[in-house]
Chain A
Amino acid sequence: MELIRSSQTAATKSRNVTTAPDSSRAERSKDHWSQLLERVASHQDRAAFHELFEHFGPQIKYYAISNGIAHQAEELVQEVMISIWRRACTYDWRKAAASTWIFTIARNQRIDMLRKIQRGSAEMAIETEDLWQIPGDDEKDPVPSLHRIIAERRIRDSFEHLPQEQLTVLKQVYLEHKSHQAVAEDLDIPLGTVKSRVRLALGKLKVILQDQDL
């Protein structure tokens, strides 16, 4: 019995080492929010869903307010949370962190809401998700789980050290729904300056891939 168990362990180990060292190491660093999403997906776990709501609900509400849709802020939270509930089964932690996946859902729901307000009752010619995909919806990519997790950690760490002027530009684009042109007008600086601040920031965060990664 003991023998069987240890040989099984050995087999598991060697399988991990030979075929999937990347995903097994990444599996161990799977974040808390991803685990909660998986519980929602596998058995409609309401406690897990509530914990996600407690963490992301206020962020999404802030996102709506900063984007100028304060009146619909809680409506957006509601739409995003319902979408998370329905789509949790399509979430793949190897393709995106839970927070990234939720960010893209919030972004799309925000776009969707604005499009509906703009269009009134007119039918939309093309679905928001045909224009902006949610990570994991396309099956094309091999799964670079460990690479993704390391890259994300790097962005998170270097984010803290960005100069204020670069941070301001990123915030206006991501949280205030401003084009670079609008940021330039708002800060009263040339468009070229805005773009160079973005490039400097993305370079520092290593969001821009180096040539060897191409």
Chain B
Amino acid sequence: MSTHHPDEVLLMEYSAGTLSEPMALCMRMHLDRCSHCRGQLDMLNSLGAIMLDHSQQASRVSDDLFDNIVAQIDSEPAPREAETEKPAHDSPLERLLGSDLQELPWKRQLADVSVYDLSDRFPGDERVTLQKLCAGGRAPSHSHHGSEATLVLTGAFADANGVFSKGDFVILDQHHDHQPVALHGEDCITLSVMDAPVKLTGRLTRLLNPFIR
């Protein structure tokens, strides 16, 4: 069970279906590991249904719509077995990557930091990356221009705000000046969604250019 959660405003945007695809992926991956947020989401989904029910202006549908629906149902075979086939990977992220996390072509940015960019799998301008901080490794100090949603996929990291482990969700913004350190024992891999580039506060600015472009 996670100890760092998305706030109710984000959960509501998820329930309403207004989040971007990468943000929804972060939320989904957190929800998979957090029964507390799943409980909240159930109620937010109920709220959505109640709002729909209360919309006074429910719109009249065409007279032949039901017949068309039935005709389409009749023209198709019974629900296909294929739809319930078990996919090769359990996690939606690994299904997207078509690979285990460890086998990705990671790009090393610094001794302790590797990155895999998957922004081009999504529409929109957000920068979506997997970031790997090797076990016991340290990332350079940095803060954020916009905001960065981070979901811990493996291992754990710590910074001034606490310890973040598998399944934890945290939004980093200009108020966090953070220098994450991975805990020993396991590489810490995170999924990050950035809506604006990272601003470096340390001395390694030039070195890190590819990382923050």
Residue ranges of A at the interface with B (Cβ–Cβ < 8 Å): 46, 50, 53, 57-63, 65-66, 73-74, 77-78, 81-82, 85-87, 89, 95-97, 99-100, 102-104, 106-108, 110-111, 115, 118-119, 125-127, 130-133, 135, 138, 140-141, 144, 148, 151-152, 155-156, 159, 170-171, 173-175, 177-180, 195, 198-199, 202, 205, 207-209, 213-214
Interface segment, B59-67, B159-167, B177-185, B204-212?
A: B59-67
Q: Is B18 an interface residue, CB under 8 A from the partner?
A: yes
Contacting pair A126 B72 (CB below 8 A): no
Contacting pair A78 B96 (CB below 8 A): no
Q: Given A103-B45, A179-B13, A199-B9: A57 and B18 within 8 A (CB)?
A: no
Residues of B within 8 A of A57 (CB): 61, 65-66
Contacting pair B18 A135 (CB below 8 A): no
Contacting pair A198 B9 (CB below 8 A): yes
Residues of B within 8 A of A81 (CB): 69
> Contact mask B26-39 → A, CB, 8 Å, 1/0?
00100110011011
Contacting pair A179 B72 (CB below 8 A): no
CA distance A61 to B58 in the complex (A): 7
The 3 closest A-B pairs by CB, nearest first: A130-B92, A103-B49, A58-B58
Smallest distance from the beta carbon of A124 to chain B beta carbons, Å? 9
Residues of B within 8 A of A213 (CB): 39
Residues of B within 8 A of A148 (CB): 42
Q: Is B99 an interface residue, CB under 8 A from the partner?
A: no
Smallest distance from the beta carbon of B1 to chain A beta carbons, Å? 9
* A interface, over-half SS: helix
Contacting pair A82 B69 (CB below 8 A): yes
Smallest distance from the beta carbon of B6 to chain A beta carbons, Å? 13
Which residues of chain B from 39 to 62 have a CB within 8 Å of any chain A CB?
39-40, 42-55, 57-62
Sample of 19 A–B contacts (CB below 8 Å): A57-B61, A59-B53, A73-B59, A85-B69, A87-B79, A89-B79, A99-B49, A100-B42, A100-B48, A107-B48, A110-B17, A126-B21, A133-B28, A155-B47, A159-B51, A173-B16, A202-B8, A209-B40, A214-B36
Contacting pair A74 B39 (CB below 8 A): no
Contacting pair A97 B46 (CB below 8 A): yes
Smallest distance from the beta carbon of A2 to chain B beta carbons, Å? 45
Which residues of chain B from 91 to 110 have a CB within 8 Å of any chain A CB?
92, 95-96
Chain A residue nearest to B124 in the complex (CB): A118
